[in-house]
Amino acid sequence: MKKDFAILGLGAFGRALCSELASLGAEIIAIDEDEERVNSVADFVTYAYCCDCTKKSSLEKLNLQNVDCVIVAIGDDLESLILTVILLQELGVKHITARSEEEGVKRVLHHLGVDEVIDTRQLAVNSLGYRLLSHSVTQYFELTDSHSVATIRYRGEDPSDTLVEMDVRGKYDLNVLLIRRGGKDIIPTKEDHFEPGDEIVVFGKKTAIRRMDKKVIK
């Protein structure tokens, strides 16, 4: 099932996250009070809004309580970060992820009850380490402590069975989001299959990605 995200704060990290998730087929609401930043992502996200996230009246209009995950990527403005998190909680947002590289701020966010705190420095290390140790993973992005998105290269010498025949979801507990083949992106159906050299974009638990990585469906 396709997930949707709201990204509040479109600095370098927020824009990169929008681009990455959009390339994987996610639905994205991108929000910033800087119109130029909003315009920079408007062409590839689902919705882009110029909005002051520290004002409850503005956030209320966006219906963020219906989004699977809201990512607060405001950055160094501690007051705005904390106020935005509190407002999101008051609005009944289901899952809040916030970004911070400062240990003190991380403790405050955890105390406030944020579901996940992202340290971009650690994300980079985790992603590189996983790719270096993996068999076929060419891209790896952590979304939460337990779930990630990865691109896995198909190692089979012959075309695979169809997705429904392989039962990827049942066997590996993973969702296949995209198949990249010869410079083209294919939104897979149950009748699609993998061909030699395909890159398979999957979403699921890290343990499931590791299991698929070791075997890379043949």
Q: How many CA atoms lie within 13 A of 204 on its CB side?
A: 22
Per-residue pLDDT reduced to its tens digit, 124-154: 555 545 555 556 777 777 766 677 787 888 8
Which tens digit of pLDDT belongs to each residue from 144-199? 667 778 788 888 888 888 888 888 888 878 888 888 888 788 888 888 989 988 88
pLDDT of 104 higher than 70: yes
What confidence score (pLDDT) does residue 186 get?
87
pLDDT at 64: 94
- CA dist 10 → 24, 34, 48 (Å): 18, 8, 10
Predicted local distance difference test score (pLDDT) of residue 126: 54
Please tell me the pTM assigned to this model: 0.61
Q: Measured between alpha carbons, how far is 184 from 179 in angstroms, rounded to an integer?
A: 8
Confidence of residue 22 (pLDDT cuts 50, 70, 90): confident
CATH architecture type of domain 122-215: 2-Layer Sandwich (3.30)
Sign of the CA dihedral running 17, 24, 148, 133? negative
pLDDT at position 82 is 93
Report d(CA 8, CA 29) in Å as an integer.
8
The predicted pLDDT at position 145 comes to: 67
Residue range 41-96, pLDDT digits in tens: 999 999 999 999 999 999 999 999 999 899 999 877 889 999 999 999 999 998 99
Is a pLDDT exceeding 50 seen at residue 218? no
Which stretch, 83-87, 203-207, 214-218, has highest mean pLDDT?
83-87
Residue 82: both structure tokens together: 């904390």
Read off the pLDDT of each residue in 92-121 and give the average, rounded to a whole number.
87
- Show Cβ contacts of residue 123 under 8 Å, excluding neighbours closer than 6 positions: 141, 142
CA angle 199, 177, 9 (to 5 degrees): 105
Lowest mean pLDDT among 30-34, 119-123, 165-169: 119-123
> Which residue ranges make up each domain of the chain?
4-118, 122-215
- May I ask the CATH class of domain 4-118? alpha beta
* pLDDT of the residue at 215: 64
Which secondary-structure segment (H or E) carries 179? strand 174-181
Count of alpha carbons within 13 angstroms of residue 184, beta-carbon side: 6
